[in-house]
Structure 1
Amino acid sequence: MRKAQGIGFVYLSLFIALILTVMPLPQVVKLARPDWTLLVLMYWTLAMPHRVSIGTAFVFGFMVDVLVGTVLGVNALTYSVVIYIVASNYLKIRNFSVIQQALLLSILLAFYHLFLFWLSHFLVGVYFLAEYLWPVLTGMLAWPWLFWLLRRYRRQLKIQ
């Protein structure tokens, strides 16, 4: 029973991240919105790489594509690539402090945004603006708080 409750909380947190991803915001704040779904996927991949990995990233990336209205498969592919990098190096990343993790994950977020831009430019013809990288900064700043919150609930509910 506890196992089902634990994985249920994981998916609940991912669905809350999806809601935060599509929640309406003013245009000024919208540009700097952290990539909540990707950040939560990164946390669960670091915490439980045997449960949340590339397949989960692909499914939730596809959901983000549908909800946001981008070309189908673009976020799914980029989420999968980023989560593959996190899953293949999770033992190393876990040993870093939360600040070092935030810096490393900001590099991965920058890679995500640049890869997403490249795919969008190739498919649709979007041109690069420096504002596309604001979510990298806000994601880096949100990581310690998100890490603390999800780890607290993971330990409290004994999710493994």
Structure 2
Amino acid sequence: MRKPQRLGFIYLSIFVALLLTVMPMPQMVKLARPDWALLVLMYWTMALPQRVSVMTAFFTGFIVDVLVGTVLGVNALAFAVVIFAVAQHHLKMRNFSVVQQSLLLGMLLALYQLLLFWLSHFLTGVYFRPQYLWPVLTGMLVWPWLFWLLRRYRRQLKIQ
């Protein structure tokens, strides 16, 4: 497979994650929806930090802002901060087991949720509710399967 087609899979996976982000769901389930786009970006940043990094995260976050209807730049900034942390420590994170990665990514997802809340609070006056942290738990639970799936395709397509 040619190199541009291989790199297209990275952007295809981000596109699918964006679709999962805006997929209609019942209200009870919607509160616990994992942050799919951020999880996929975290994987690609850990695996290929030279291909997917802060700028990709910023643009993806901006697209999430447009799709979800939040204040422009809130998700973009939060994505960029979290992906910067992943890019800085990607070599260490690769050596962790999937369970350890899941716990560490849970902390980064909590950072993301708290950044979102903090920015939204100052811009629109939103107040904190514990339900905002449900995506952290579901993201931690989804991570092993997402990691396995993306790593399998990355190795099968020889994406480097």
TM over 0.5: yes
- 1:141 Cα deviation after fit: 0.2
Distance 2:88 2:2 in 1: 27
Match of 1:48 in 2: 48
How many residues in Structure 1 have an aligned counterpart in Structure 2? 160
Distance 1:115 1:75 in 2: 9
Unpaired runs of 5+ residues, structure 1, are: none
Fraction of identical pairs, as percent = 76
Match of 1:105 in 2: 105
Distance 1:105 1:31 in 2: 19
Amino acid at match of 1:61: G
Match of 1:140 in 2: 140
Distance 1:63 1:138 in 2: 22
Amino acid at match of 2:99: I
| TM-score normalised by length of structure 1 | 0.99
Distance 2:64 2:115 in 1: 16
Match of 2:150 in 1: 150
Residues 1:21 and 2:14 are matched in the alignment: no
Amino acid at match of 1:42: M
Amino acid at match of 1:71: V
Amino acid at match of 1:60: T
- 1:56 Cα deviation after fit: 0.1
Match of 2:11 in 1: 11
- 1:59 Cα deviation after fit: 0.4
- 1:2 Cα deviation after fit: 2.1
| TM-score normalised by length of structure 2 | 0.99
Distance 2:147 2:2 in 1: 22
Q: Deviations over 1:50-83 (max 9, x none)?
A: 0000000000000000000000000000000000
Three-state SS of the structure 2 residue aligned to 1:82 is helix
Match of 2:59 in 1: 59
Three-state SS of the structure 2 residue aligned to 1:24 is coil
Residues 1:130 and 2:141 are matched in the alignment: no
Amino acid at match of 2:33: R
Unpaired runs of 5+ residues, structure 2, are: none
- 1:146 Cα deviation after fit: 0.1
RMSD: 0.6
Q: Deviations over 1:74-113 (max 9, x none)?
A: 0000000000000000000000000000000000000000
- 1:46 Cα deviation after fit: 0.4
Distance 1:94 1:14 in 2: 20
**Which stretches of structure 1, 4 residues or longer, exceed 2 Å deviation after superposition?**
none
Distance 1:7 1:122 in 2: 38
Amino acid at match of 1:156: Q
- 1:14 Cα deviation after fit: 0.1
